[in-house]
Every structure is written in structure tokens, then in C-alpha cells.
Amino acid sequence: MRGPILFGVRHLSPAAAFRLRRELDRARPELVLVEGPSDLNDQIKWLCHPDTQFPAAILAYTRQPPVRTVLWPFAVYSPEVQAILWAHEHGVPCRFMDLPSSVFLALAEAAAKREAAKGEDGEAQPEEPVTTDSVYRRLETLTGEDHDTFWERTFEQLGEEESFQTVNNTFGRQLRQASAHSRRDAAETVVREAYMKRVITQAAAGGISPEKIFCVCGSFHVAGLEENTPMTDQEERALPRADCSATLMPYSYYRLSSRSGYGAGNKAPAYFELLWDALNGEGLKNAALLYLTRLAAAHRRAGNLVSSAEVIEAARLADALAAMRGSRHPALADLRDASVTTMGHGSFSELAIAAADTEIGKTIGLLPQGVARTSVQEDFYRQLKALRLEKFRTPELQRLDLDLREKLNVKSEEAALGDLRRSFFLHRLRVLGVCFAALLPSRQDGASWGEYWELRWTPEVEIQVVESALLGDTVEGAAAFALKERADNSSSIAQAAAIFQDAFLCGMPAAASHALSVLQGLSVDSAAISEVADTASRLSLVVRYGGLRRFDPAPVVPLIQQLYLRACLTLAGACVCDAKAAPDVTRAMDLLNALQLSHDFLEEARWLSLLADISDRDDLNTRCSGFAMAILLERGKADEELLSREVARRLSPGVPADLGAGWFEGLAGKNRYALIARLSLWRQLDQYLSGLDDETFRRALVFLRRAFADFSPGEKNDIAENLGELWGLDARQAAEVLMNHVTQEEQTVLDSLEEFDFDDI
């Protein structure tokens, strides 16, 4: 008695899918078994649904963290899909026959634990075995072409007189003999094939004649299914299993082309779909013309000129290259070379965008309503539609500008707050780590009514949404759980403040309230001035823009007052620091100054008195004292007389050069145009530097170079003009001389500063 029909395939091969359907028509089986997770047969009906658009993928994932996933992606030209569709069209039962997804996930988890244990033990890794990948690399060396090209020339272009089943099964058997996987991979292969053999045997035992069972599997497994014995009941019960769920998800050609997580992908899925269309049309003889005309159209859409003559010449050149390389028809490599020569004028860069569009494509799958999804997926897609964000579900990066202000010229509240609701949704996805949208820096200082996003859909988005199912039933619920978990694990006021700000941006008052209570508890502990200032600044945004986001900021005000008071009491002590810590302290001073200016409920007199004290003291870091003076000047609380007196005191021969230059660095940290406009300041600085000896000047120059490093070319030019005026020279000529490249002598002095010893500062 003959056994079942074993049809070996490459998982994404148009020729395999095309010949498979012909063989199915000839064999007329009573059962079709397909390599795929045997516990997910309920997904097959959705693959056959008329509204399903490929590519799509079955995703299985563990229900307990850390989430592990396994994917089975399908394109319209996948042999498995065509076998399933043929069975559906002819009323023939169809089932998956590979290991259950729960077993795959359990095996992957066990393998990860073994690898982690090896790394901890420091064991030497065994020499890499000869795998199918290394055999492919050997083939590439022998043929001089990549494996996709080898496959296309050898198998996609088989003639009608040749049996695809026989040729491909033979290739799989030889590939199996030439490769020797690691013990773990080999063991998994044996287990998989024993399980598939068990499913086949059970089907035959159920009354179906073996020769009426049609099995579709990777050609690598054909020999194993012919030779290995079926798995026993005891062995089947001993298989490890993970607690998991599964869903059908849209996939993309871009993801298939990357082969990420799926070794049987191909580099040019859109091109392989073109081959599928050609096979189902007038044959592969038209595939080259289809490719070249689509490439030319894409190149023209990109704004480039392509003549009909160039397309015709590319077709002729592709035919010649195919003949030289032993192909029946031009392969993609031939078409690429020909098009670069004629349409790209010898440069692939000219055709890169058009080639990506024609070979990889932008196709994204689409699933029908009602497909089995997690509740978070359902909520995600419902909100995409409700918020009119469905148009952003493309692989192309798109901009979305939001105006969070209430629109008064619309009828419904839902429309009036549409952009605000979009903002809440996108921020919740950001909190969940779903990479659908990225927030761009604001075009205004601080937070405001405008938000600017970049959106792009990838299959990773779907996976990340699925993983969020462990946190809640909706996007909002999952985000609330994620925020609560982060808040409970936070150990500093800065972390808690960041979580509170996220909850505020997500429009989730309950989560914000919990984060605020955690923040209040942590605020009783000591914290660095930079952390206090950063926390108070984050809370300030909530008070200033709470109304814009429909958020009551009243509970936040007392905490800001508490942090502000603490900062005022500890800032002077923080200014007793070294040069490395000074930038953090001055940044904190800047944040606190902006904080006080933003809120009337923060005592101004206390802050100004503190700045005056820091500016006047000699026992603090001079950069901090200079920055305090800069703030006073900016706020109009220091007159010309006070500035002149401070400059004379700080920049005097009796003060070490590094201290004086450090003070000037702090002074130049704010309001530079006001400083540039004060000619008396530059006169005093000029007199100070002129009075230094060579060694002291070199010491001061190290700090002054750092002080002027952030000045713009325009600001430096204005300073040069000031100096020219002081020296009695033409201001513009002096600026040109001072802004020119340094002389060799000057460069020697500057190079010597690289070896300056800071240890004694």
C-alpha cells in the first residue's frame, strides 16, 4: 500500500505554491495536512476568509512574563496558504500537523535557560556544526550568487516537463545529508518529524486511505517523515508545554524581507508575488517585463525620468544576462543588473527607492472583522478607527501634528477634543512600549498646546500590543497597570515625577494620583539639588498646562511649594562643589529660576535673596556664583554698578586665574546678548587678561575656551567687534582678523593646553 503524498516545499516559493495546486488537482486527496501548529487549527478558517488580505501571521505567546512569542507568517504565494485555500475551495478537511505552539514556546524557553546557564558557567562553546545556513553559504561560494538567486534559477524556473515534487524533495534530502545541526536542533527536528508522523498515522487510522492524505512540509523534513517512526502516546504526553494563547495578526512584506525571526523569508517578497501573478497568468516569460515596467513606474513616481527605450534595452540586456548565466528566464539578479545599467546609468543609488518599492513593497495584511484577537488588540483597533488614525497604519513614516486646544467651531465635544484624545491614546501606547508613534521635541519652549508625532506601523507594533494583554484588557487599563508597577518600584523622586508626568500626559488622573502619593512619600528623604529641581520642573508643567489636558493641578501645588522651599534651603550648600559637579548645579538653578517665574505661589523675595547671597559669596564654586549673577542681571535685579564691582573683584590679579575664568564662565551661561552689549564688561576682561603673566594666562585660557565654546559664530563676531572698538581699531576689520584661522604659533599654544594638568584645581 502506498503511503501519504509528501510534497516538500520552500515556505515562501511561488513555484512550489503553483505546482502544489496542480498536484492537488491531480491527486484529489481526502485530507490535507500542512506544516503548522497543530493546536491552532481554529485559525485556518480566518486564513480562508474572503476579507483576509495577506501577508498575515499566526502569533502564539506565553501568558506569563517574560512574554515569549513564536510566529508563522504567510504570504499569498506561500504553499501552505495555497494548500489551505485549495482544501477550502474543494470542501476537503485541512489541518496543521506540526508540534503544538505551546510545545514550541516551552522548548524555546528551555533553550534560553540552557544558554543563560552556559554563559554563567563560562563553558567554552563547541565548534559550530555544519548547518543548513553554512551549506547555503557554500552553495553561494560555488555558484557566485546568493541563495535566493540560486533557488530562483534552479527551482522557480523549472520547466513543465520536470516534476517539482521530485526535484525539491531530492534537494531537501541532499541538504539534510550535507548538514549536521547541533544536538539540540537535531533533537528538535526528530521530535517535530515524529509528531508529524504521528498525526499522519492517526489520520490513516481514522479511516482515510494513506494515499489520500496529502502532506505539505518543508522539503528538509520529507526524508524524516519517510524514515522516522511516529511518536508514541507516552512520548507525546512527555512533551513540555507552556501556558499560551494565539492570535492571527497582519504582517508586512518589509518584515518578511528582513527574515527577522523567520529564516525562510525571502529578500524580495513583492517580486516573488510578481512571479506568482506571472505563473497564474501567461507564465514566467512575462515576469521580466512586469518587473521592469513596475520599476520604471516607481522610478517615475519618485520624480525621475525613464524612457521607454531604457526599459526595452533593460529587457534585452536581462535576457542576455540570463542566457550567459544559465537561466531559462531572467532572475531578479539579472533584472537588477540590467535596470541599473540602463535606467540607473550604472549607479544603483539612482534606483534604490524604486527597487525597494518594486522588490520589497509596502504591502501590509488586513484581517476581517471578528477575527480572534486579544481584548487589547480589539481596543487598539477600535480606537484607531474612532480617532481616525487608521490612515497611519502603513510602513511609511508619517507626521501627525496635534493642537490640544478645544476647537470651538465644531458641534460635538468629541470632535472639539479630538486631538487631545489622540494625544492621550498615543502617550498610553508610548508608556506600554508600543512603537507605533514617537513624540518629537516641541517647537515651543516647554510644554504647550502643540504636540508633534511620527507614526509608522510595523508587525512589531502588533506583537507589542499582544504582549500588553498581560497588563490589562484595554490600552488604558494596561497603561494604568504599567504606570502603577513603575511607581511602586521607583526609588527616587525623579523616577516618581517622571511617572506622574507620564500619567498626566496619558490623561489618567487615578494613575497620576497614585504616582503623586509615591512621590510625596519619597520626597521626605534627602535628594540632590539637581533631582529636586528636575522633579519640581516636571510638576510645574502639570500646573501650567493642566487645564489644557482637563487635569486638576490643585493637589500638585503643595508639593511644588515643599520642593521649592527645600531647594532654597539647600542650594547654597550644593554650590560648594568641584568643577565637575558645577554644571549640574547651575542647570538646577536655571530650572528653579524658571519655576519661580512661572508661579505666583512661590516666594520671589526668598529666591532673589538666595541668588544675591550665592553671587556675593567667595567660598562657593565660582561658576555657580557667576551663574547666580547672570540670573540677577536677566531679571533686572543687578545694575551696572554691581556688575562692574563684581567683575573687578572676581577678575583681579589677586584671584587665581582658574577661579576668575570659572566665574566668567558662569556669568556667560545666560543672557549672552545682554553681556555682549555691555562694553564696560569687555574692557574689564581685556584689562584683566592683559595683566596676566604667560603661565597664569595659559591657565585662565583653559577655562575661557570652555566658556566661549557654546557661543555662536555671530556672538563671537560681536565680541570681536567690541574688542576692536576697545583697541581703537576698525571694528569690522578687527572682527575679521580675530575670526580668521589661528596662526601656527597660536595653534602651538592651543595644542599645549590639551596636556593641561587639572589635578591641582
The string of pLDDT tens digits covering residues 188-246 is: 889 999 999 999 999 999 889 999 999 999 999 999 999 889 999 999 999 999 998 88
Instruction: Please give the residue that has the higher pLDDT: either 430 or 459.
Output: 430
Grid cell locating 507: 490623561
Report whether 584 contacts 530 (CB < 8 A).
yes
Instruction: Give the Cα separation of 58 and 696 in Å (integer).
Output: 72
At how many degrees (to 10) do helices 640-650 and 679-690 cross?
10
Instruction: Give the Cα separation of 319 and 341 in Å (integer).
Output: 14
Report whether 76 contacts 361 (CB < 8 A).
no
Q: How confident is the model at residue 445 (pLDDT cuts 50, 70, 90)?
A: low
- Cα angle 343, 349, 353; round to 5: 85
- Half-sphere exposure for 365 (CA within 13 Å, toward CB): 28
Instruction: Give the Cα separation of 459 and 364 in Å (integer).
Output: 9
Q: What is the pLDDT of residues 93-136, one digit of tens each?
A: 999 999 999 999 999 888 777 776 765 555 545 545 556 666 77
What is the average per-residue pLDDT within 700-725?
67
Report whether 76 contacts 363 (CB < 8 A).
no
Q: How confident is the model at residue 448 (pLDDT cuts 50, 70, 90)?
A: low
Q: What is the pLDDT of residues 580-626, one digit of tens each?
A: 899 999 999 999 999 999 898 999 999 999 999 999 998 999 999 98
**Arithmetic mean of pLDDT over the chain:** 84
Instruction: Please give the residue that has the higher pLDDT: either 249 or 572.
Output: 572
pLDDT for the residue 1: 45
Instruction: Give the Cα separation of 590 and 601 in Å (integer).
Output: 18
How do 94-98 and 437-439 pair as beta strands? unpaired
Tell me the whole-structure pTM to 2 decimals. 0.68
Grid cell locating 521: 512619600
Instruction: Give the Cα separation of 614 and 626 in Å (integer).
Output: 9
Grid cell locating 454: 511620527
Grid cell locating 540: 510645574
pLDDT for the residue 114: 76
Counting residues of the chain whose pLDDT is more than 70, the rounded percentage is: 83
Phi, psi of 638 (to 5 degrees): -135, 125
pLDDT for the residue 758: 42
Q: How confident is the model at residue 761 (pLDDT cuts 50, 70, 90)?
A: very low
What is the average per-residue pLDDT within 280-309?
93
pLDDT for the residue 262: 44
For residue 753, is pLDDT > 60? no
The enclosing H or E element of 356 equals helix 348-359
Peptide bond into 66 cis (omega under 30): yes
How do 94-98 and 31-37 pair as beta strands? parallel
